Structure 1
Amino acid sequence: MYHRKRRTMGTPRSPAGRWSTGAAVLAIGSLAGALTGVAPAQARAFGLDPSFGTAGTAGTDFTGFIDEGLALLMQNDKPVVAGSAGRLVDGVGVTDFGLTRYTADGDLDPGFGSGGKVTTDFFGSSDDAYAVAGQPDGSVVAAGRAFTDDTGDADFALARYRRDGTLDPAFGSGGKVSTDFGGTSDTAKAMVRQPDGKIVVAGNTQNYPVSDDIALARYRADGTLDTSFGSGGRVVTRFGGNSSAAALVLQADGKLVVAGETSADGIDFALARYHRDGTLDTGFGGDGMVVTDFGGADRASALLVDRLGRILAVGGSGSPLSSAVALARYRGDGSLDRTFGTDGLVTTEMDNAVGVAVVAQGTKLLVGAAGGAFTLARYHRDGTLDRGFGTDGVLATYFGSSSTQLAALALDRRGRVVAAGTTATDPYYWGDFFVARYR
């Protein structure tokens, strides 16, 4: 199914239902030239939480090199940030899986790793963690990619950590797993844990010079591939052109939905839905796949499913002259939900917006983007901006660094908003992990 439209905010209508309270979807975003005004009443009601870290924020450096916070997990109100921890090897920069855990007060948690920090190397080259998920026993799984050598070949990579940050030897080989799809480079960008304990990751496999395709893999609790899923535990989906997945969500019925982008005809939102066995669900879009065009370079980077089974995809839409946060809501059959925004689509213009992060607050959607200023926009469930939030629905926070890149939003158990990403520490944009909490 292909949706080719360019829309802006529409007239409110009257949808039913609520977003699942506490559900969270993560994505990347950047914003420059954000609104600076904050309505006085809103400034008192919502802002950085001074009881967290230093004036509501905390940053972490690993070795003095480039570090990137790329994913966020709330673990009993303790933020766990995963990403890339940089280091120099013979004058060459490489990265490892990097994880930090903070206390509920924003201090590094001494009970995790070495002073709250953990790094993991796979093959001696660079490794990057793009997703993190918790397990009922308190262990943490990180997923991303591991370069197998210096030629640019990479595989899906997962690592599982005990509560104290040590690798779990019951998972894979010494706590680590890598999966090759046979292409030149494979990268996992999103992950979910099923109720049966199986782990599903999604991303892309690069088959240079043919195409990049969406790729999924499912693992048993011990890290072995689940051969009842796809072909030997792997699934590859080709939209045409280059495509990749950046978000993954598990529906209540056990079906999996991925979202990302495809360049089959321009760059557009790409969604696919799968049955439990990894086959495409033809009840979604007719062939299991949906493409939506906002009129620019459109990249979906987050997903949310509400209690009525409607799917919200969020990301960015850009052109040489402008950029915007983009939201699309779909019915269960993959058609656009025309009770949302204008014909199912919403765009909010923001300079250099390449994506968003979003959490559901009851019937409200809180969307964030950051780059120099971290900006939150709040929407009603019909896609209209909540004008009672910030200034006309938008609230900006400046952190004083040259660049702040948002990777994730989440809610803690008290409903406070936690944001994670990367903050630049010098003019060369060498970064540190960054986390902020709002109340």
Structure 2
Amino acid sequence: MKPQITIITKMLILAVCFALFNTLYSQSVSLDLSFDNDGKVVTAVGNYDNYGYSIAIQSDGKILVVGYSNNGSNEDFTLIRYNTNGSLDSSFNSNGIVITDFGFDDYGRSISLQSDGKIVVAGYSNNGSNYDFALLRYNTNGSLDSSFDADGKVITSFGTSNDYGNSLTIQSDGKIVVAGESRNESYSDFALVRYNTNGSLDSSFDSDGKVTTIVNGSALNGAYSVVIQSDGKIVAAGYSGHKQNGTDFRFALVRYNINGSLDNSFDKDGKVTTDIGTFGDLAYSIVIQSDGKIVAAGYSGNGSNLDFALVRFNTNGSLDNNFGTDGKVTTAVGNSKDVAHSIVIQSDNKIIAAGQSNHSFALMRYNTDGSLDNIFDTNGKVFTDIGNGDDGAFSIAIQNDGKIVAAGFSNNGPVHYYPTHIAVVRYNNTNSVSINETAGYSKEMFVFPNPFSTYATLQTSNILKNPRLTFYNLYGQSVKQITSLTIKFGNTISFNRDNLPNGTYFIQLIDDNQIISTNKLVITD
């Protein structure tokens, strides 16, 4: 009599095979040779210096980079759009490059896309005597949007000294939040502005649309990054001077309510400062995990060197002791200046930080506990040389196919002799993607039948407590959520398609705010 192979036995065999396949054939991160043949693109805008500071990826896969370029006398906002193969997009202002001049020195620092595809850029502009917040909105073809403050450009001043807009984000209602710093003669404050969709100041935000916050009195304070939580609260991250002279900086986070007031549920006063090294810590980038925890990245100084620094906070502002040592992680990458300028979080909650080290683009990937991910190019670290001089990444993004795109600058020799140009690098990232493309089976979740037409069943090896399901389209956009689920015998859950059209989706299982798995799912009649 032949032995019977049960369904569970088949599933176990599939699990072992999948695990072996994943171990034997997984690849480390590598340059994407389909991107300008070598994975690297350098764009010279004019004959002088130009830098790329922020990156955004459109739903069609085209890549936008904003920064500034020098025309020989002053700096101007510079916006570039690349096709998916790395070539300049000729449908964008005819040559792929848009330069916007306010009059004097103008610096683009941050970019975000509206749901209608319009492009919003923030930075700062000099009026001849001091700098002010500058905000621009472009149509999808690269022209300025005349429905935005009549000419597509908005200038906002806090006082008579310098104000720097460093980061922007767009709320779900379309309102735009810009964060930076406002200075006077001796110190500076966190500064936030909220704009209506037409570019006017939002009077529901602290009555005049503008908020300044003293994190540490009589010192330098400023925000470099801003994000919106799922509940609408605003979190800004940057630095705060600790000593009276403001030279010993610390990571600084401030959380605001929707109306611009400080959120007293965040470390009691809405403000958190974190000391990491012995001299000088600064946060350049901030992201929110799916469980609401906050991750900030930048650098930490010890008096002679700078190291990559990451800190993870609980939702109440306390340090997350499950991350690194007391919530803090530092990584000595090279011998001197190692700075993380930007971070992103994958769907599996692994963290990728991008910046500069050893005069190169530097990428680090961390596990959820803060340890380096050794399957990311064997030691968690990737360095990319572009020119013969200094190279560095200022911004990072993950495409829907999981590829990593970093933007920054490259120089081909000594800075005073060779101009610096905008640089973009794209990497394959086959081990882990933004939405994990495991076809129907993962080590923790099995969906059957797949494809399906009306109903499907999910089975997992995990003991579920409070599960929910989220469906994503191929652009990574959430299109359906199921929060009320019945757990049946064998940790199975049944669900139906409801009104979802035929197509390919990614289904993500979350239990007690922890991602269990993400699988590819096909719906067909």
**TM-score with structure 1 length normalisation?**
0.86
Show structure 1 runs of 5+ residues with no match.
1-40
| Contact 1:325–1:356 (Cα < 8 Å) also in 2 | no
Residues 386-405 of structure 1 aligned to structure 2 (within 5 Å): 386-405=373-392
What whole-Å deviation, never above 9, does each CA across 1:245-267 have from its counterpart, x for those lacking one? Answer: 00101000000000000113321
Residue 264 (structure 1) aligns with: 242
Residue 7 (structure 2) aligns with: none
Q: Secondary structure at the match of 1:45?
A: coil
Match of 1:305 among 285, 288, 312: 288
Q: Distance in 2 between matches of 1:382 and 1:42?
A: 25
Q: Secondary structure at the match of 1:51?
A: coil
Residues 132-147 of structure 1 aligned to structure 2 (within 5 Å): 132-147=111-126
Using the TM superposition, give the Cα deviation of residue 344 of structure 1 relative to its aligned residue in structure 2, in angstroms.
0.7
Q: Distance in 1 between matches of 2:412 and 2:308?
A: 26
What whole-Å deviation, never above 9, does each CA across 1:83-111 have from its counterpart, x for those lacking one? Answer: 011102xxxx3011000000000000001
Match of 2:70 among 86, 102, 110: 86
Q: Distance in 1 between matches of 2:107 and 2:341?
A: 20
Q: Compared with structure 1, are the counterparts of its residues 74 and 316 closer, same or farther at alpha carbon in structure 2 (3 Å cutoff)? A: same
Match of 1:219 among 175, 178, 195: 195
Residue 343 (structure 2) aligns with: 358
- Runs of 4+ with >4 A deviation: 41-44
Residue 35 (structure 1) aligns with: none
| Contact 1:133–1:142 (Cα < 8 Å) also in 2 | yes
Percentage of pairs with the same residue: 39
Residue 4 (structure 1) aligns with: none
Residue 250 (str. 1) matches residue 228 (str. 2): yes
Using the TM superposition, give the Cα deviation of residue 43 of structure 1 relative to its aligned residue in structure 2, in angstroms.
10
Residue 197 (str. 1) matches residue 174 (str. 2): yes
Q: Distance in 2 between matches of 1:173 and 1:42?
A: 55
Residue 143 (structure 2) aligns with: 166
Residue 54 (structure 2) aligns with: 71
Q: Secondary structure at the match of 2:74?
A: strand
Match of 2:368 among 381, 384, 405: 381
Structure with the greater alpha carbon radius of gyration: 2
Residue 468 (structure 2) aligns with: none
Using the TM superposition, give the Cα deviation of residue 375 of structure 1 relative to its aligned residue in structure 2, in angstroms.
2.2
Residue 409 (structure 2) aligns with: 422
Q: Distance in 2 between matches of 1:55 and 1:44?
A: 18
Match of 2:258 among 256, 262, 276: 276
Match of 2:309 among 319, 326, 334: 326
Show structure 2 runs of 5+ residues with no match.
1-23, 429-525
Q: Distance in 1 between matches of 2:107 and 2:25?
A: 38
Residue 422 (structure 2) aligns with: 433
Match of 1:119 among 88, 93, 99: 99
Question: Letter of the aligned partner of 1:302 in structure 2?
Answer: S
- The range that moved more, 296-305 or 320-329, is 320-329
Using the TM superposition, give the Cα deviation of residue 354 of structure 1 relative to its aligned residue in structure 2, in angstroms.
2.9
Using the TM superposition, give the Cα deviation of residue 183 of structure 1 relative to its aligned residue in structure 2, in angstroms.
3.5
Q: Distance in 1 between matches of 2:117 and 2:388?
A: 34
Question: Letter of the aligned partner of 1:260 in structure 2?
Answer: G
Q: Distance in 1 between matches of 2:413 and 2:93?
A: 27
Using the TM superposition, give the Cα deviation of residue 231 of structure 1 relative to its aligned residue in structure 2, in angstroms.
3.7
Residue 28 (structure 1) aligns with: none
| Contact 1:42–1:390 (Cα < 8 Å) also in 2 | no
Question: Letter of the aligned partner of 2:57 in structure 1?
Answer: M
Using the TM superposition, give the Cα deviation of residue 164 of structure 1 relative to its aligned residue in structure 2, in angstroms.
0.5
Using the TM superposition, give the Cα deviation of residue 138 of structure 1 relative to its aligned residue in structure 2, in angstroms.
1.3
**TM-score with structure 2 length normalisation?**
0.72
| Contact 1:366–1:379 (Cα < 8 Å) also in 2 | yes
* Structure showing greater relative contact order (alpha-carbon pairs closer than 8 Å, 6 or more residues apart): 1
Q: Secondary structure at the match of 1:356?
A: strand
Q: Distance in 1 between matches of 2:37 and 2:126?
A: 36
Using the TM superposition, give the Cα deviation of residue 221 of structure 1 relative to its aligned residue in structure 2, in angstroms.
0.5
Q: Distance in 2 between matches of 1:170 and 1:400?
A: 41
Residue 206 (str. 1) matches residue 193 (str. 2): no
Q: Distance in 1 between matches of 2:37 and 2:375?
A: 28
Question: Letter of the aligned partner of 2:421 in structure 1?
Answer: D
> How many matched pairs?
391
Q: Secondary structure at the match of 2:30?
A: coil
Residue 109 (str. 1) matches residue 85 (str. 2): no
Question: Letter of the aligned partner of 1:395 in structure 2?
Answer: V
Q: Distance in 2 between matches of 1:345 and 1:313?
A: 10
